[in-house]
Amino acid sequence: MIYLLYLCTEQKKLIMTKFEVLSPDGFTIEFDKPYYTSKEKAFEAFDKWKERYKTQGYYSSNNYGRIPLEELEDYMNVREL
């Protein structure tokens, strides 16, 4: 019985896992999508978001100053909700 409850809990985690992508300043990268249903979708959204800064060549952060786009992934935060 305990094993069955454990399996149900683990399966529920797999179904309900959500990922949040935060900018270096701690804000979600898309205001209309507070979370993503997979890590792959979260990183796809990050790549798309990063393209917005391609023209200027960097992301301007209140916390870290100018971050070159090739280093931006090191400053973002993808976390499981």
- Global pTM reads 0.75
Phi first, then psi, for residue 15 (nearest 5°) are -75, -40
Cα radius of gyration (the chain): 16
**pLDDT the model gives residue 15:** 64
pLDDT in tens, 40-71: 999 999 999 999 999 999 999 999 999 999 99
Average pLDDT, the chain: 87
Domain residues of the chain, as ranges?
18-80
pLDDT digits (tens, 9 = 90+) for 15-41: 678 999 999 999 999 988 889 999 999
Give the DSSP H or E segment for 37: none
Q: How many CB atoms lie within 10 A of CB 23?
A: 19
